[in-house]
Amino acid sequence: MVDFRVEKDSMGEVRVPSSAYWGASTQRAVDNFPVSGRRFPRRFIAAVGLIKWAAATTNEAMGVVEPKIAEAIRSAAEEVIDGRLDEHFPLDIFQTGSGTSTNTNANEVIANRATEILGGDRGSRLVHPNDHVNNGQSSNDVIPTAIHLAALGAVRDDLIPALERLRDSLTAFSDRTQDVVKVGRTHLMDATPVTFGQVFGGYAAQISLGIDRVRDASIRLGALPLGGTAVGTGLNADPGFAPKAIAALRERTGLEVREAENHFEAQSAKDACVETSGQLRTIAVSLMKIANDVRWMGSGPRAGIGELRIPDLQPGSSIMPGKVNPVMSEMTTQVAAQVMGNDAAIAIAGAMSNFELNVFMPLITHNLLESIALLGAAARLFSDKCITGLEPDAERALALVEQTFPIVTALVPAIGYDVAAEISKEAFKTGRSIRDVALARGVLGEKELDEALDLMKMTQGGIVAPGLGGG
């Protein structure tokens, strides 16, 4: 049996579980939105707590809330920030589009806990959820501010370090394989030679650029809507409230946050979140490409390409003994697909901003923070459990490149495209090597052919044909 107490809001009385810190308005939302069972992420709840902490500090300093109440609010907010009251944030992410239910949830939980701290009973409103906890604020500026704070913190603390780790492991592999030649491939077909070092250096550059992109988007994400209250005008908020509260947030978190220059833009649209998600999608695209390439280069190991040895992590089949699969690549590509899907939902959500307010903010919150968390985890695991354990099969890679026909490209400056094409076609038809066919045709002498068909020189660009810049 569950014990209840009666709480009131502007619509009347509601029965609330006695053990709950939330109040009447939250209970209405619990009853109205039993949709998915998905709750707001921990980072977001902590961000809401941070805003309430900063608001109480600011309101006390401005003489709006008396010191003992402000101190009790701060103490309760600290418990929200630390996660000690997470069970009292029960609301589904699919709810009112402004996130008003969740802001109200925070106001009621903090008010009731602060009331207890002051020796009062839950529901007595010794500390009032609206007049005290929400003073100078609206759900319409609190929720988007919390999204920005949570995303900025997650990017800084989780995503960028993981991407840097992956970039560094790709760079390390590149550095130690600069002299290992392999087949270049375009259109999934053989192309002129490259080195593993060149290929993996390209992957490292992709990740490095992804870091730059998300850092650049974070600049726009650092503009906080706090202070705009209901529609951006700042009604019922002292003009000094937002600058002081945001300064407190900046000092405590170390995040580069500032008051939005235009509160109407900041609340009526969520373009900074859409932009950030787009950069996350770009990183996901990079990870998809890199992880796919790695598993293809490691495919086989006998009947595939097999020029790269991927770490053996777990049995790959319940029926085929000894089979091992590229599981970290598969995990990474699945994460990339999910992030791309999240981005599509965020784009739709951003487009659904109507007049002075976006009403898809809970969905934006969930998908944006999930994308950041997924990419961070995938990048870290892909780095640690795959890239750091990669080994090139240099002997097989060299054997493959020696069998390819595009190496005839190096002869073109000396013998022309048409003759080179004939040599390539004859080599393919007869199964002979490019060198053997070219030597038989007498297009170049044996020494000149050896110089022109130097595989390592081909990876370094320029003209390698003797007498034309390479001999």
Which residues are part of the catalytic machinery? 187, 317
Element holding 181 (H helix, E strand): strand 181-186
CA torsion, points 93, 99, 104, 105, in degrees to nearest 10? 20
Helical H segments across 240-360, by residue range:
241-253, 263-268, 271-297, 327-351
**Nearest CA among 394, 392, 382 for reference residue 290:** 382
CA distance 329 to 289: 10
Q: Say if residues 378 and 287 touch (Cβ distance below 8 Å).
A: yes
CA distance 290 to 202: 10
- Exposed/middle/buried for 246, CB within 10 Å: 0-12, 13-18, 19+? buried
CA distance 167 to 203: 8
> Cβ of 262: how many Cβ atoms within 10 Å?
12
**Nearest CA among 282, 163, 174, 151 for reference residue 220:** 151
Q: Say if residues 91 and 101 touch (Cβ distance below 8 Å).
A: yes
CA distance 16 to 23: 7
Give the Cα-Cα-Cα angle 247, 250, 256 (nearest 5 degrees).
Answer: 120
| 3-state secondary structure (DSSP) of residue 375 | helix
CA distance 159 to 169: 16
